[in-house]
Amino acid sequence: MKRAMMYKTIEFLAVAGIAVLLSAGVATAAGGGAKQSKDISFSFEGVFGKFDRGQLQRGYLVYKDVCAACHSMRLLSFRNLNEPGGPELPVDQVKALAASFEVTDGPDSEGEMFERPAIPADRFPSPFANDEAARAANGGALPPDLTLLTKSSEGWHYPWYSSPFIKLVKGNGGPEYIYSLLTGYEDAPAGEEKEGLHYNPYFATQWLAMPAPLIEDGVEYGDGTKATVDQMARDVTAFMVWAAEPKMEQRKRIGFMVIIYLSVLALLMYLVKKKIWRDQH
């Protein structure tokens, strides 16, 4: 009786698992007109993955010098650039950097808003006063805030890549999507032109309002790295992944220790169980 129930349960779990797999596959296959993202490897992938400090610093430079003209990163403050697990810029550098931006503060004692140099505790200033202004400057399209975009983007469009098991290892492909989009601009197919839109097979509808933002040597890296489009795309993507989860390294470290702890505990429990039940069969 007991055994029969166990088989039933296993059967149920297997069927449910397959159903979830299939529905996930069908859902993404139906949803995407976009090309599968390039599967490139980043230093922060995997259980022991870490950010490359130099890469995060370069990525910030790309954001600041290129993307920040159109995209906000509202959830970041200048001081985050100094915190452990991130780009870890020295404090005095962060202060100087913040001071190079003007932010609106107030109201003062007369009720007026005023401009002042930013301090490390200030959030990154946004390029536009509001979404309407941002749309108006970009042909009606809204440049999304980049802080959490690597988390909400989806790079895998083949059904088997979308299976929960592969996602456990490969994630959603958000970083891969950002990289592929930035490096994936192509000439529009012959005879097809769309006013104010640019052709990119990685974008959901293939046509987007953002012109290719990266050009060779578009920024000047302080560490001597050559600013190829590929390099800048990798660097700014890594920076965005960190921005979306500044405590990633800490999370992985703690997670690993918890697994070790639970393994030791499980072993002890097993030995205790064996001792208690030794002569009682």
Residues that bind ligand HEC (CB under 6 A): 62, 66-67, 69-71, 138, 141, 143-144, 149, 153, 178, 181-182, 208-210, 213-214, 236
Query: Is the Cβ of residue 138 or residue 147 nearer to ligand HEC in the bound state?
Result: 138
* Minimum distance, C-beta of residue 120 to ligand HEC, in the bound complex (Å): 23
- 8 Å CB contact between 157 and 202: no
Query: Is the Cβ of residue 147 or residue 252 nearer to ligand HEC in the bound state?
Result: 147
Query: Is the Cβ of residue 135 or residue 253 nearer to ligand HEC in the bound state?
Result: 135
Query: Is the Cβ of residue 85 or residue 143 nearer to ligand HEC in the bound state?
Result: 143
* Minimum distance, C-beta of residue 129 to ligand HEC, in the bound complex (Å): 16
- 8 Å CB contact between 63 and 236: yes
* Minimum distance, C-beta of residue 66 to ligand HEC, in the bound complex (Å): 4
- 8 Å CB contact between 248 and 242: yes
Task: For residue 248, give both structure tokens.
Answer: 């990633």
* Minimum distance, C-beta of residue 146 to ligand HEC, in the bound complex (Å): 6
**How does 57-74 read in b/e, with b if 16+ C-beta sit within 10 Å?**
bbbbbbbbebbbebbbbe
CA dihedral (77, 83, 86, 89) positive or negative: positive
Closest Cα to residue 55, out of 239, 210, 212?
A: 239
Long-range contacts of 206-212 (CB under 8 A, 24+ apart): 206/33, 206/34, 208/141, 209/138, 209/139, 209/140, 209/141, 210/70, 210/138, 210/141, 210/143, 212/182, 212/185
Query: Is the Cβ of residue 150 or residue 163 nearer to ligand HEC in the bound state?
Result: 150
Query: Is the Cβ of residue 95 or residue 178 nearer to ligand HEC in the bound state?
Result: 178
* Minimum distance, C-beta of residue 42 to ligand HEC, in the bound complex (Å): 15
Contacts of 206 (CB under 8 A, 6+ apart): 33, 34, 199, 200
Query: Is the Cβ of residue 28 or residue 138 nearer to ligand HEC in the bound state?
Result: 138
Closest Cα to residue 166, out of 177, 157, 153, 175?
A: 157
* Minimum distance, C-beta of residue 135 to ligand HEC, in the bound complex (Å): 8
* Minimum distance, C-beta of residue 99 to ligand HEC, in the bound complex (Å): 23
